[in-house]
Structure 1
Amino acid sequence: MERKNFLKSLLVGAASVPALLSACSKDDAMPTTSSGTTGGTGTPGNCTVAPTETEGPFPTKAPASYVRSDITDGKAGHKLTAQITIANSNNNCAALAGALVDIWHCDAEGNYSEYGGSGMQSTNYTGVHFLRGRQTTDANGLVTFTSIFPGWYSGRATHIHVHIYSASGTSLKVTQIAFPEGSNSAVATVNGYTKGLSGYTYNATDNVFSDGVTQELATVTGSTSAGFELVISFAVAA
């Protein structure tokens, strides 16, 4: 799939943003697939391996140090409960128990913990670790995280990074979660927090998601008052 480069049309002359977007671009490697498809909810016994995506420039530096289900760390934002199910495409898409699942995402302002003070992110959050965590899948292949609804930053749609490992620590998949968009979506409801959505990059022109989000698009329900619930399934070859 040809990678889309939309920097010139968005932010000509901005030196720091092109470096960030380049680092966030989709990997060239195509995923190995089995028969059938898996969308945001998954179908046991009939699945496709999740697409491989880049970790981006802000991966968790020591993920084993953040084994926890609540990754909020005091960050303000609308509550988000994320339920992620992992299935094994090498075993008829049966639930994969004992897998390690890391997630990380930006805060309401679009900043990542563990990084900053540079051209990519001016706000310095190098000494904190908010919105990062690791959980182990249960017998149903499920992990649950409590977080906040992610904000956004220039050049990227709303997203969550996911890295899946075997129980022994072997990397099985690096991918990302995309969010539904449109007038009634959670993205529209949250409206970029105080930033609004002016200048927001939607999935169709996002440099990771522009080739399609069928296997990475979560189901997101809820409200700003009650909080949001995100549900998605990923298949990996374990």
Structure 2
Amino acid sequence: MERKEFLRRGFLSALGSAAILPILGSCSKDSVDPTTTDTTTGTTTGTTTGTTTGSCTTTATETAGPFPTKTPGTLVMNDITSDRTGTKLTVKITIQNKNNSCAALANAIVDIWHCDAAGNYSEYGGSGMQSTNYTTVHFLRGRQTTDANGLVTFTSIYPGWYSGRAPHIHAHIYNSSGTSLLVTQIAFDQTICNTVYAQGAYKSHGLQDTTNSNDNVFSDGVTTELASFTGSVSEGYVLTHTIVVAG
């Protein structure tokens, strides 16, 4: 079964029963529609838009599946590159607390994970979803705790893509006690993707087959999920992004 078809149908059994609980569903809006309760206004918001309070808007909630990190607490590190090759990417994520006048949220736990230049994830494989077996390695996954400015910084490579999904990074935010605050995804600018994917480790895989506008996660808008970029292929890129949670 191709990964794109798996995403469309939400067919969990391809990963085996042992994987059903952690993945919650595929990377598809149709497979899961979590909601968060806005403790400031008393309203409830879903995945399509956030809720505005003061000068910030809560970041849209998205699914963590189908390749979430299995034991993120063991992957506390800044450099998550491992042995993967690709254009250098520095990921700078700032966490803001909507419930505290959008102030920076210190001591929040931030997990990120994404695929390699060929579109493969570590910790998974050998199935219809991903034929290459990377079940025993842990590249491009990491955890950091925000500083006083709400900032975490990771060193990685520019993510590749896989059929049926626009390029993206997954992020899961917890408070200092380990309580989950938000699961979301970070979207990429297509123009930069086109530049990166035409060279180096990405060239043989080609350009992505899915844009943000026809992606099954981002098609309803990326207002709160689109990252900003500076840099170049030769020097590497710096991704900056703010994620707003109800902390």
Question: TM-score under structure 1 normalisation?
Answer: 0.85
Q: Residue 20 in 1 paired to residue 7 in 2?
A: yes
SS in 2 for 1:64: helix
Q: Which residue of 2 aligns with 1:189?
A: 195
Alignment of 1:127-142 (within 5 A): 127-142=136-151
- For residues 44 and 108 of structure 1, the distance between their equivalents in structure 2, rounded to whole angstroms, comes to 38
The answer (yes or no) to whether the contact 1:30–1:51 under 8 Å persists in 2 is no
- For residues 132 and 7 of structure 2, the distance between their equivalents in structure 1, rounded to whole angstroms, comes to 14
Amino acid at match of 1:188: N
73 and 44 in structure 1: CA distance in 2 versus 1, 3 angstrom threshold: farther
Number of equivalenced pairs: 214
SS in 1 for 2:149: coil
The answer (yes or no) to whether the contact 2:167–2:188 under 8 Å persists in 1 is yes
- For residues 56 and 136 of structure 1, the distance between their equivalents in structure 2, rounded to whole angstroms, comes to 22
Q: 1:97 pairs with 95, 106, 129, which one?
A: 106
Alpha-carbon offset, residue 55 of structure 1: 0.4
Amino acid at match of 2:103: A
Q: Residue 29 in 1 paired to residue 39 in 2?
A: no
Question: TM-score under structure 2 normalisation?
Answer: 0.82
- For residues 149 and 44 of structure 1, the distance between their equivalents in structure 2, rounded to whole angstroms, comes to 32
Q: Which residue of 2 aligns with 1:49?
A: 58
107 and 229 in structure 1: CA distance in 2 versus 1, 3 angstrom threshold: same
Q: Over aligned residues, Cα RMSD in angstroms?
A: 1.9
- For residues 76 and 99 of structure 1, the distance between their equivalents in structure 2, rounded to whole angstroms, comes to 29
The answer (yes or no) to whether the contact 1:31–1:50 under 8 Å persists in 2 is no
Q: Please give the per-residue CA displacement for 1:154-173, whole angstroms capped at 9, x wherever unaligned.
A: 00001000000001100000
The answer (yes or no) to whether the contact 2:188–2:226 under 8 Å persists in 1 is yes
Alpha-carbon offset, residue 17 of structure 1: 3.0
Q: Which residue of 1 aligns with 2:164?
A: 155
16 and 149 in structure 1: CA distance in 2 versus 1, 3 angstrom threshold: closer
Q: 2:185 pairs with 155, 176, 180, which one?
A: 176
- For residues 88 and 16 of structure 1, the distance between their equivalents in structure 2, rounded to whole angstroms, comes to 36
Q: Could you say which structure has the greater relative contact order, defined with CA pairs below 8 angstroms and 6 or more residues apart?
A: 1
Q: Which residue of 2 aligns with 1:205?
A: 214
The answer (yes or no) to whether the contact 1:44–1:87 under 8 Å persists in 2 is no
Q: Structure 2: give runs of 5+ residues left out of the alignment.
A: 11-25, 42-51
Q: 1:231 pairs with 208, 225, 240, which one?
A: 240
Percent identity over the alignment is 64
Alpha-carbon offset, residue 15 of structure 1: 5.0
